Amino acid sequence: MKTYLVSLHLLLEAHHCPEAEIADALHGILIEDMRKYAGDHSALIDWAVAGDDMAASIASVPLPDDYRPDDSAFPAWPGRTIP
């Protein structure tokens, strides 16, 4: 079996405490022991945050008022993390 590392960005809405809200959202989708629960035939083996920790993997991006999911261009990574 060959394995591949796939990087992706998820656009999530969070308010006053983005690290906690985003962690909760991700844990609702990507659970620990993913492979155990997804089954041996799942292509998804494991997951991890892209930065050194959750906070380093979060960047605030502005969205225009006319932004439409699946239609609008995805926002570019701004190159800085939330302070």
Kindly tell me the sign of the dihedral angle through the C-alpha atoms of 5, 47, 79, 15.
positive
pLDDT category at 18 given cuts 50, 70, 90 is confident
3-state SS class at 37: helix
Single-letter amino acid code for the residue at 45: I
CA–CA distance from 66 to each of 15, 63, 71, 73, 78 (Å)?
A: 20, 8, 10, 11, 20
Band (35; pLDDT cuts 50, 70, 90) = low
Do the Cβ atoms of 21 and 14 come closer than 8 Å?
yes
**Which H or E run contains 21?**
helix 18-29
Per-residue confidence (pLDDT) for residue 28, from 0 to 100: 73
Q: Which residue has the higher pLDDT, 5 or 9?
A: 9
Q: Over the Cα atoms of the chain, what is R_g?
A: 15
pLDDT at 21 over 70: yes
